[in-house]
Structure 1
Amino acid sequence: MIDLPLVSIAIPVYNEEGNIAVLYSRLHTLASDMVDECHFEFVFTDNSSTDNTWTMLRNLAAKDSRIRALRFSKNFGFQRSILANYLHTRGDAVMQIDADLQDPPELLREFLALWRKGYHVVYGIRRARPEGRLIHSFRKIGYWMIDRISEHPIPRNAGDFRLVDRKVIDALANQRSAEPYLRGLIAGLGFRQIGITYDRSARTAGVSKFNVGQLIRLGLTGVFNHSLVPLRLATVAGTVILSLSALGTVYYLILKLLFPDFPRGIASLHILILFGIGFQSLLLGILGEYLLRIYRILRREPIAIIQDAINLEPEDIKL
């Protein structure tokens, strides 16, 4: 008898009552079609939804024991929700998808085929996505910048739609990050990775909870978590400014010696002072971002706080 692998489908949710029924229907159909290939479990993490999402999950879990769910005491953010989900899966492989079904769960077959060939991470590369040109360009430039300055290559045009091996989950469990950026964390682990190109669909219901502000915050998290460039930039820029100041001092001394009546430049003096204050504030802000992350790691904040759980025993809670 063939021992089939267990595949965990990890789904972070927040106010997705309009998508839960359709999502479960497609997952149930997928599991039925692949019954001879693998076993399934569906693991949900609810980021303290304010609609009927948790009630719907509880009702579905009463009918389907494959459903396991965790509800947080407050909204801990999308990346923490994914990481908490990963840590509570039991599968040999784990595929993460969004509840809005913009990423097709049916790609699991292709993901698994590559996983069986020895790849530990299989991620989706978005060929097309239904969004405005401005936000698309902003996102593309942001991903390019993060990849360029990161200590390790981060896949471009790839989100959190991926399948990872159990070894990757175990490695993530040993990482300490108060504000994780999972694309960077997983890319930095060094496991064998490969991408699959696909077209992203429009949302089946509701609106995106990920606005421009959150996108910028996620991008900054990626930069400060996985790059030392800002710190080195502060050192280089400080050296350049100091050198220019020294040259400027010599220049004005020479002018003063050659032209004793050379007028004092009050406007230029004010500009230089304001520039210096602003530049130092920028450097202090960069240092503060790194110090904040160190402080939060030392404080050992939990990834999330569990308020309620479905089909999980108390000893299974790992946060």
Structure 2
Amino acid sequence: MKKISIVIPCYNEQDNVQPICAAVCDVLKESLPKYDYEILLIDNKSKDNTRARIRELCSENTHIKAIFNIKNFGQFNSPYYALCQASGDCVVLLCADFQDPVELIPSMVQKWEEGAKVICMIKKSSKENALIYFARSVYYKMIKAMSEINQIEHFTGFGLYDKSFIELLRTLKDPTPFLRGIVAEYAPDHVEIPYEQQKRKAGKTKNNFFSLFDAAMLSFTSYTKGGLRLATFSGFFISGISFAVAMVYLVLKLVFWNRFIAGNAPILIGVFFLGGIQLFFIGLLGEYIMSMNTRIINRPLVVEEKRLNFDDSGNKKSTEKSSDE
């Protein structure tokens, strides 16, 4: 009997974690009764009652497993780590807040049975803020245009992954993995299924400006050289303009001598303009350096505090793997 793993990352989802597990179980039992299954919840150090409710779920259903992190390891490391701990023949990754429709799981499994190794769910529309969706669209197109790898627009990670692709994820030694880019790079023949993203069923989004900026910079520094190339070309361009302005100023000064009075305004404008450009590109260079530094330090993806409903062999194997990672 084939086994389906459902990975659900959690952070402060006390009002969603029980309903999402119930919804997933209903879909699996009604539409996919011939498959064995496991639901793997990984909690990123929630500050509410999420863990207490996960414990209740695990005590009621041995098919539900849980990993508790010792701290919050971010929105990318924790889901990636959970994918690598899943034991199914295929693994489905979805959010706990119902923005990823659970009723689409059978469609993904059908595509998988037809031979697809990776199925990417693509947001063709969303019930989120229209301005946010537009900004995301611009961001995706910019990254796609600047990257050497054909990035997948409006792909959040929601999808199905064959165990062969999960095994590939386990072999990658990246302490800051960007799953969307990895899928684009190593699964170019993936299948895309469009869907409409729903609103959160309960609770508030954990994303803010800084978390979204971190996500943007991770993809930017991991999969594009555009920032560094832009700095180089801009440096040549601005240097050329500055040289041309200096020559014009020198000619005017020599021709008109004392009658040419330009004042200090051009100098001040030029200094502040060039200073702003330099600070911008120093900051951009710093983002690349921070990304390199994180990879060089090579800390583990996640450090576990506790596991629920894993057998002893599974715990031992996972502990050895996480220490290697």
TM-score w.r.t. length of structure 1: 0.93
Contact 2:66-2:309 at 8 Å conserved across structures: yes
- Decide whether aligned partners of structure 1 residues 174 and 265 sit closer, same or farther in structure 2, where only a CA change above 3 A counts: farther
1:170 matched residue in structure 2? 167
- 1:172 and 1:21 map into 2 onto residues whose CA distance is 28
Contact 2:10-2:17 at 8 Å conserved across structures: no
Contact 1:7-1:92 at 8 Å conserved across structures: yes
The count of corresponding residues between Structure 1 and Structure 2 is 316
1:297 matched residue in structure 2? 295
Partner amino acid for 1:12?
P
CA-to-aligned-CA distance 1:47-99 (integer Å, 9 cap, x gap): 10111111111121122221121111111111111111111111121100111
- Decide whether aligned partners of structure 1 residues 267 and 178 sit closer, same or farther in structure 2, where only a CA change above 3 A counts: farther
Contact 1:121-1:191 at 8 Å conserved across structures: no
1:14-53 equivalent positions in 2, closer than 5 A? 14-53=11-50
Q: Give the unaligned 5+ runs of structure 2.
A: none
Partner amino acid for 1:177?
D
Contact 2:41-2:66 at 8 Å conserved across structures: yes
1:138-287 equivalent positions in 2, closer than 5 A? 138-261=135-258, 262-287=260-285
Which segment is superposed worse, 247-256 or 284-293?
Answer: 247-256
2:56 matched residue in structure 1? 59
- 1:223 and 1:120 map into 2 onto residues whose CA distance is 26
- 2:179 and 2:173 map into 1 onto residues whose CA distance is 12
Q: Secondary structure at the match of 2:159?
A: strand
Which segment is superposed worse, 170-179 or 90-99?
Answer: 170-179
Contact 1:120-1:191 at 8 Å conserved across structures: no
CA-to-aligned-CA distance 1:211-270 (integer Å, 9 cap, x gap): 344223312221121111101111110111111122222222222221111225311111
1:99-118 equivalent positions in 2, closer than 5 A? 99-118=96-115
Partner amino acid for 1:60?
L
- 1:32 and 1:131 map into 2 onto residues whose CA distance is 30
Identify the structure with the greater helix proportion. Answer: 2
Contact 1:48-1:73 at 8 Å conserved across structures: yes
CA-to-aligned-CA distance 1:102-145 (integer Å, 9 cap, x gap): 21222111111211222221111223322222222222222222
Contact 1:153-1:187 at 8 Å conserved across structures: yes
TM-score w.r.t. length of structure 2: 0.91
- 2:85 and 2:158 map into 1 onto residues whose CA distance is 18
Contact 2:218-2:291 at 8 Å conserved across structures: no
Q: Give the unaligned 5+ runs of structure 1.
A: none
CA-to-aligned-CA distance 1:251-299 (integer Å, 9 cap, x gap): 2222222111122531111111122222112221121111111111111
Q: Secondary structure at the match of 1:42?
A: strand
Q: CA RMSD in A?
A: 1.7
- 2:294 and 2:215 map into 1 onto residues whose CA distance is 17
- Decide whether aligned partners of structure 1 residues 270 and 35 sit closer, same or farther in structure 2, where only a CA change above 3 A counts: closer
- 1:34 and 1:97 map into 2 onto residues whose CA distance is 18
Which segment is superposed worse, 152-161 or 14-23?
Answer: 152-161
Contact 2:14-2:50 at 8 Å conserved across structures: yes
Contact 2:8-2:41 at 8 Å conserved across structures: yes
Contact 2:150-2:184 at 8 Å conserved across structures: yes
Which segment is superposed worse, 184-193 or 223-232?
Answer: 184-193
Percent identity, aligned pairs only, is: 30
Runs of 4+ in 1 over 4 A off after TM superposition: none
Contact 2:128-2:198 at 8 Å conserved across structures: no
- 1:287 and 1:167 map into 2 onto residues whose CA distance is 36
Q: Secondary structure at the match of 1:127?
A: strand
